Amino acid sequence: MKLLIAIIHQEDSPAVLDELSAQGVSFTRLPTTGGFLRAGNDTLLLGVEDTAVEEVLALLARFCRQRQQFVDVGAAPILGTLLHAPVEVTVGGATVFVLDVERFRKI
C-alpha cells in the first residue's frame, strides 16, 4: 500500500474530487495555502494499493493543469519612484509525494 500526498490548485480541485469519487478512490481533503503565492490549494491524502498508484497519478495529470499567473513581487525603484512590478509565474499542476505504508488499519 502507498500513501499519496497530492497538493493541487483549488481551481482544479472540484474536477479531481469528482473523478476520484467516481473511480471509488477514498481520500481526505485538507484546504491549504501555498507559502510562495499565498494562494489556495487542496492537499489530498490518498491511501491506494501499489497497483493503483499509476492510475491515480494519471488521473491527477489529466485534471491538474499548469497556468500562468501574474504576481506582485513588491515595489521596485524605477525612475526615482517605487512601482510595483508584476512577474509572470507558472502555477497549478500537482505536486505528489508517494510514500510506502508500513501498516494500515481502519478502526
pLDDT digits (tens, 9 = 90+) for 5-19: 999 999 899 999 999
Closest CA to 97 of 24, 51, 50, 46: 46
Domain ranges of the chain: 2-100
Closest CA to 4 of 107, 103, 95: 95
pLDDT recorded at residue 84: 66
pLDDT recorded at residue 70: 78
**31 or 38, which is more confident?**
31
Tell me the pLDDT band of 75, cut-offs 50, 70 and 90: low
pTM for the whole structure? 0.80
pLDDT recorded at residue 89: 76
74: left (phi over 0), alpha (psi -120 to 50) or beta: left
> Average pLDDT, stretch 49-78?
84
Whole-number Cα distances in Å, 4 to 26, 74, 89, 93, 95? 11, 35, 26, 15, 10
Beta strands at 81-92 and 94-100: parallel, antiparallel or unpaired: unpaired
The SS3 assignment for 48 reads strand
Kindly tell me the sign of the dihedral angle through the C-alpha atoms of 46, 51, 52, 53: positive
Domain covering 2-100: architecture: 2-Layer Sandwich (3.30)
**85 or 30, which is more confident?**
30
